[in-house]
């Protein structure tokens, strides 16, 4: 039987439209800073989108790892550089064949694939620096494994917007089943034309800043980013308490309207953690700002949690980072637990008394909310095909 002793999230690194430095990112969360949301023109359609874009310069990936040089992996490299000291300690503590990698992504190197296909159409050949492996979903995990010269299990999970939420259950399993002593776990996604125009064709993109749970909401803004954690049994201030996964397979792109699959994932996470609804201090909602997601998630959350749990969606500040959303938003929860404060309160102008009354009432954090000292946080991620995950972390 697997050993169910506590698994910890020892270290965390992130990069997104809010930046990459922990205190600065948390400060922007508290201030509801939307300055990272930028206008982006799609080369494919010349259409403008409001997106959560990483503005800081990213280091190129140099030989002998240049075949991994995609924007997705450069975002990951930034996180690896932030974690250089603990990663060095990790390699000294554990054998390289006992360190695993589990990453979530939905875009991988699609942006580089788009450029390569355009080049092939124009010249009949692919760019010399294009490697087909860049567009494979396995690329983020393979890059980390190669870059850190690891020999343990390394793989990616790609289940659209739940990808880097599901990685925590998979990574925990590697440790509990004695396949690994530590796992580098997280997610990364970068902006690309296929995703932007694909979601636009589904009429899911908002032309303005996304307004989750408002009656005026009109869709998502897409963003990019990465977040990495080091997971192990080594005691730390934040523990992974529970994970719940479900797949209701209601529809290829629309969620089950009553939120049954989402509620099941939340209930399983509570059961896995050995907690009750009253124990959850803060809920990071998936909160995309689409009509169907917010309605079903409101139904799910109100059926599982109590009015004492404050909730918010951070996507108006970063955009929906798709396959990186689960890890990114869990990173916000990780920061919030260290600060014992809710990471984001909806600014007053977000609702202006326009909360969608069709959605069951939630205890949404606003500027007037007095936040309890956070000890336990839950984060939801829901995806196409009814693929749902809920993750619970807490101060140890």
Largest Cα separation within the chain, whole Å, is 62
H runs (alpha helix) in the chain: 22-30, 71-82, 84-93, 110-123, 139-148, 163-176, 193-201, 260-273, 291-304, 315-318, 325-339, 348-351
Distance separating alpha carbons of residues 128 and 139, to the nearest angstrom:
18
Out of 68, 286, 333, 350, pick the active-site residue. 286
Out of 11, 68, 79, 161, pick the active-site residue. 161
Annotation says 286 is catalytic: yes
Annotation says 22 is catalytic: no
Q: Is 1 exposed, middle or buried (0-12, 13-18, 19+ CB in 10 A)?
A: exposed
Q: Which residues pair with 183 in a beta bridge?
A: 100, 231
Phi, psi of 371 (to 5 degrees): -85, 135
Angle at 333 between CA 256 and CA 87, to 5 degrees: 115
The structure tokens 């917007």 sit at 161
Q: Is residue 59 classed as helix, strand or coil in its secondary structure?
A: coil
Annotation says 349 is catalytic: no
Phi, psi of 379 (to 5 degrees): -130, 130
Distance separating alpha carbons of residues 70 and 158, to the nearest angstrom:
17
Out of 68, 79, 180, 320, pick the active-site residue. 320
Distance separating alpha carbons of residues 392 and 232, to the nearest angstrom:
16
Kindly list the catalytic residues.
161, 286, 320
């Amino acid at each position: 039987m697997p050993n169910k002793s506590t698994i910890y999230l020892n270290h965390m690194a992130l990069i997104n439209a809010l930046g990459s430095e922990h205190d600065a990112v948390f400060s922007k969360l508290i201030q509801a800073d939307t300055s990272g949301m930028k206008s982006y023109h799609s080369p494919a359609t010349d259409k403008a989108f409001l997106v959560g874009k990483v503005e800081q310069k990213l280091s190129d990936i140099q030989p002998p790892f240049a075949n991994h040089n995609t924007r997705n992996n450069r975002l990951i490299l930034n996180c690896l550089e932030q974690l250089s000291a603990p990663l060095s300690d990790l390699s000294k503590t554990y054998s390289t064949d006992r360190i695993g990698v589990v990453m979530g992504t939905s875009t991988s190197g699609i942006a580089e694939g788009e450029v390569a296909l355009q080049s092939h159409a124009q010249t009949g050949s692919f760019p010399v620096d294009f490697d087909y492996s860049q567009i494979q979903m396995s690329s983020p995990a393979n890059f980390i494994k190669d870059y850190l010269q690891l020999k343990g299990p390394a793989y990616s999970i790609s289940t659209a917007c739940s990808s880097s939420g599901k990685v925590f259950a998979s990574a925990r399993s590697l440790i509990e089943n004695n396949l690994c002593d530590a796992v580098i776990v997280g997610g990364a996604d970068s902006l690309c034309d296929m995703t932007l125009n694909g979601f636009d064709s589904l009429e899911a993109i908002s032309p303005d800043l996304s307004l989750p749970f408002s009656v005026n909401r009109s869709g998502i803004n897409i963003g990019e980013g990465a977040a990495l954690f080091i997971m192990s049994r080594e005691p730390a201030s934040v523990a992974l308490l529970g994970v719940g996964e479900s797949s209701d397979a209601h529809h290829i792109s629309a969620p089950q309207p009553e939120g049954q699959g989402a509620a099941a994932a939340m209930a399983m996470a509570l059961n896995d953690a050995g907690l009750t609804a009253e124990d959850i201090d803060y809920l990071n909602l998936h909160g995309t700002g689409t009509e169907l997601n917010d309605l079903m998630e409101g139904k799910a959350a109100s059926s599982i949690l109590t009015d004492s749990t404050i909730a918010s969606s951070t996507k108006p500040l970063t955009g929906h980072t798709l396959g990186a959303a689960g890890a990114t938003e869990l990173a916000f929860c990780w920061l919030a637990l260290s600060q014992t404060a809710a990471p984001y309160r909806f600014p007053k102008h977000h609702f202006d008394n326009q909360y969608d009354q069709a959605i069951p009432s939630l205890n949404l954090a606003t500027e007037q909310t007095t936040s309890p000292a956070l000890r336990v946080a839950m984060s939801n991620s829901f995806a196409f095909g009814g693929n749902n995950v809920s993750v619970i972390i807490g101060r140890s």
